[in-house]
Amino acid sequence: MLPTDPVAAVRRFNRFYTRQIGALDEAHLGSPYTLAEMRVLYEVAQAPDGIAPKALAARTGMDAGYLSRVLKRFEGEGLFKRQPSPDDGRSVSVWLTSDGIRAYNGWLASAQGAVEGMLAALSGAQKSCLTKAMAEIEGLLEAPPAGEVILRGHRPGDIGWVVHRHGALYAREYGWDERFEAVVAKIASDFILNLDPARECCWIAERDGEILGSIFLVKGEAPGQAKLRLLLIEPAARGLGLGQRLVAECVAFARAAGYTEITLWTQSILSAARAVYAKAGFELVDSWPDDSVAKGLNSETWVLRLS
């Protein structure tokens, strides 16, 4: 039975894979060297202009003392040579000798054959599945840290999400009806159909593949005027400062694009959003009764002057 604990699962896979490729064998993939020694040989072979031992230690993750012993072995066998660096005479770099190049090429051919033999029993479909699984492992382990919120541009499907979540959340939290969803859909549609990438942008906040919020900056009616639109933060992401971060992205983009002011439309009951706008420097300049999306609302216009 496979372990359900992620740590145990990774350790089990490591044991399986190191056994499968012979990582613990005294000789690796047909060479007379261990896996660690072959890694040193590989890294030096990738540096035709030489590589400093310190950089080699960083690339391999090896202890300096152990790396020194490996280098001495290869030098003793005539595979490596050390010379002063051409860029800095005080520094020493490591190169492959002609014998080292021949040894590396021979090992490369052996390693290729060993891996081909390991895969020989698999069908084409199984090989494809294997390579996709390995690519997925690499992608997951190199992905941003879990829990990190990233801001990115919009992709296909994101605009539909923006409209859906505005309609669903505002209906649930404030009782607004489908008219508000229609307003959001019109704003979103106009953005896509008339997008000027140099002066307009959408940001999507995402964590571990889950969308947490959105904001838009579009051209306003007056020269030099931009509009901040459709700020939304999912309930699960509130309290993280994400609203301030999204608004700051809008303001920075507007400044870079040469706008002189940013305006926005909001409602007086949206206290959390109003606090974010105020903190960013926006000022309330107008307020009026508005029943366009629900009864008893007071619409507001806020302005941030960038000059």
User: Can you give the pLDDT at residue 1?
Assistant: 46
| Whole-angstrom distance, CA of residue 201 vs CA of residue 217 | 5
Torsion of CA 203, 204, 208, 211, to 10 degrees: 170
Task: Look at residue 204 and give its three-state secondary structure.
Answer: strand
The pLDDT profile of the chain, 307 residues, written as one tens digit per residue, is: 455 567 778 878 877 877 776 655 555 555 677 878 888 888 999 988 888 888 888 888 888 888 899 999 999 999 999 887 665 566 788 989 999 898 888 888 877 887 888 888 889 888 888 888 888 887 777 765 557 899 999 999 999 999 999 999 999 999 999 999 999 999 999 999 999 999 999 999 999 889 999 999 999 999 999 999 999 999 989 989 999 999 999 999 999 999 999 999 999 999 999 999 999 999 999 999 998 888 889 999 999 999 7
User: Can you give the pLDDT at residue 22?
Assistant: 61
Strand ranges inside the chain, DSSP E = 80-84, 92-96, 149-152, 201-207, 210-219, 225-233, 261-267, 283-290, 297-305
DSSP secondary structure string for all residues of 128-147: HHHHHHHHHHHHHHHSPPTT
196: nearest Cα among 282, 258, 280: 258
| Whole-angstrom distance, CA of residue 270 vs CA of residue 230 | 13
236: nearest Cα among 207, 259, 216, 263: 207
Domain ranges of the chain: 6-142, 149-305
* Contact in structure between 48 and 94 (CB atoms under 8 Å): no
User: Can you give the pLDDT at residue 28?
Assistant: 54
Residues near 187 by Cβ (< 8 Å), separated by ≥ 6? 216, 218, 229, 230
CATH 3.30.360.10 fits 149-305, yes or no: no
User: Can you give the pLDDT at residue 30?
Assistant: 59
Torsion of CA 86, 89, 90, 94, to 10 degrees: 40
Cα Rg, the chain, nearest whole Å: 30
Identity at 15, one-letter amino acid code: R
Q: Which residue has the tokens 């056994």?
A: 19
User: Can you give the pLDDT at residue 305?
Assistant: 97
User: Can you give the pLDDT at residue 269?
Assistant: 94
Q: Which fold has domain 6-142?
A: Arc Repressor Mutant, subunit A (1.10.10)
